[in-house]
């Protein structure tokens, strides 16, 4: 009889092994598997079962999301539980735990601190989209927002691309200045006084704010640029100008998820061109010369 032994894997341990290189490869493979299984929905080939997450609103304070997934090919049965309390002060706005079960018996195997995985996995997903959708090698990156995701996106993009400059904007300008000063390695970072200044010459834009209303306007975006929309994960929240959503070619991590959760998609009535996994699988084209948006909501796949 199998013995129950639930291992706890701490944030420190995860942080020491979870490199962006590892994550980018794993997320790329996971997004491909996810879209492949949707294409074969109902058929015996379906290998990933990942329903759109269930969200419980906690009055006006925040929410709890439950994100289960089964990946047959990896014998992986996992759920993430994530909270988002945007008004938190002096502690992160997101917290998460991940529970791993034995896929053959259902026995719980491990409990993982989910904070670092959420932080780095999200940036890795934006890197995957950017690898496929940016028009050439991106040189100027704009980051709108200066929280946890801004840090991980800065790190992941700096490791992956040869960036000449990173333009940072935050709605409270002191925070953008602090971001730039945080490390001497950030000599290629500049704090911008306006979101327009940050965005207007950028090859790639990342929006990582808790804003419920757009922080980027269509007319600021350089034609052919690529934008990763990471915030605004509820149907009543939007970070991107609806005019940009309508004029750009829009990619998502999950069609089903985007049509249920993304205010940027729902409020603008933008058309979804493809899941990024379909591009990874070669069943949809990467229209690199067009202005593109990747609307990210957070599909969860772990490296094995």
Query: Contact residues for ligand NAI (CB under 6 A)?
Result: 84, 86, 93-94, 118, 122, 145-150, 170-172, 175, 208-211, 215, 230-231, 233, 296-298
Q: Which is nearer to ligand 2PC, 293 or 297 (CB)?
A: 297
Q: Which is nearer to ligand NAI, 33 or 150 (CB)?
A: 150
Q: Smallest distance from the beta carbon of 118 to ligand 2PC, in angstroms?
A: 4
- Give Cα separations from 74 to 22, 31, 71, 111, 300 (angstroms): 16, 14, 6, 18, 14
- HSE at residue 47, side-chain half, CA atoms within 13 A, is 15
Q: Which of 37, 118, 211, 262 is the binder for ligand 2PC (CB under 6 A)?
A: 118
Q: Which is nearer to ligand NAI, 36 or 122 (CB)?
A: 122
Q: Which residue is nearest to ligand 2PC (CB)?
A: 298
Q: Smallest distance from the beta carbon of 252 to ligand 2PC, in angstroms?
A: 13
Q: Which is nearer to ligand NAI, 228 or 268 (CB)?
A: 228
Q: Which is nearer to ligand NAI, 109 or 177 (CB)?
A: 177
Interior angle at CA 208, CA 79 and CA 80, nearest 5: 5
Angle formed by the axes of helices 20-39 and 115-133, nearest 10°: 70
Q: Which is nearer to ligand NAI, 55 or 103 (CB)?
A: 55
Nearby residues of 12 by Cβ (< 8 Å), 6 or more positions away: none
Length of the chain measured in residues = 304
Within 10 angstroms of residue 194's Cβ, the number of other Cβ atoms is 11
78 interacts with ligand 2PC by CB under 6 A: no
Would strands 62-71 and 76-84 be described as parallel, antiparallel, or unpaired?
A: antiparallel
Which parts of 270-299 interact with ligand 2PC (CB under 6 A)?
Answer: 297-298
233 interacts with ligand 2PC by CB under 6 A: yes
* Residues 33-72 as x/- pattern, contact with ligand 2PC by CB under 6 A: ----------------------------------------
Q: Which is nearer to ligand NAI, 102 or 131 (CB)?
A: 131
Cα radius of gyration (the chain): 19
Which does residue 209 touch among ligand 2PC, ligand NAI, none (CB within 5 to 8 A, set by kind)?
ligand NAI
Q: Please enumerate, as own/partner, the contacts of 9-14 that have beta carbons within 8 Å and a separation of 24 or more.
A: 9/110, 9/111, 9/112, 9/113, 10/113, 11/113, 11/115, 11/116, 14/112, 14/113, 14/116, 14/117
* Residues 169-188 as x/- pattern, contact with ligand 2PC by CB under 6 A: --------------------
Distance CA 229, CA 53 (A): 19
Q: Smallest distance from the beta carbon of 45 to ligand NAI, in angstroms?
A: 27
Distance CA 83, CA 73 (A): 29
Q: Which is nearer to ligand 2PC, 71 or 297 (CB)?
A: 297
Closest CA to 57 of 247, 236, 273: 236
- Kind and range of the H or E run holding 189: strand 189-191
84 interacts with ligand 2PC by CB under 6 A: yes
**Site residues (CB under 6 A) for ligand 2PC?**
82, 84, 94, 118, 233, 297-298
């Amino acid at each position: 009889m199998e013995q129950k032994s639930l291992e706890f894997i701490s944030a420190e341990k995860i942080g020491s092994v979870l490199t962006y290189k590892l994550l980018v490869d794993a997320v790329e493979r996971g997004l491909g598997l996810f879209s492949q299984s949707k294409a074969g929905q109902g058929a015996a080939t379906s290998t990933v079962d990942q329903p759109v997450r269930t969200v419980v609103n906690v009055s006006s304070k925040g929410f709890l999301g439950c994100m289960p997934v089964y990946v047959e090919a990896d014998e992986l049965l996992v759920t993430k539980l994530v909270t988002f309390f945007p008004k938190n002060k002096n502690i992160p706005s997101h917290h998460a735990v991940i529970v791993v079960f034995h896929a053959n018996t259902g026995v719980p195997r491990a409990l993982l601190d989910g904070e670092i995985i959420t932080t780095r996995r999200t940036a890795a997903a934006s890197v995957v989209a950017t690898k496929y959708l940016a028009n050439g090698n991106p040189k100027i990156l704009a980051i709108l927002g200066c929280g946890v995701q801004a840090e991980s996106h800065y790190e992941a993009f700096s490791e992956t691309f040869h960036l000449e400059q990173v333009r940072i904007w935050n709605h409270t300008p002191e925070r953008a200045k602090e971001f730039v000063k945080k490390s001497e390695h950030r000599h290629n970072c500049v704090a911008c006084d306006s979101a327009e200044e940050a965005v207007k010459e950028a090859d790639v834009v990342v929006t990582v704010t808790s804003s419920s209303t757009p922080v980027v306007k269509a007319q600021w975006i350089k034609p052919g640029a690529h934008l990763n929309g990471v915030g605004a994960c509820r149907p009543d929240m939007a970070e991107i100008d609806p005019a940009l959503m309508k004029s750009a070619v829009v990619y998502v991590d999950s069609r089903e998820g985007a049509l249920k959760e993304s205010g940027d998609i729902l409020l603008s009535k933008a058309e979804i061109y493809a899941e990024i996994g379909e591009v990874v699988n070669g069943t949809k084209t990467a229209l690199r010369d067009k202005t593109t948006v990747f609307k990210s909501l957070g599909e969860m796949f772990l490296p094995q």
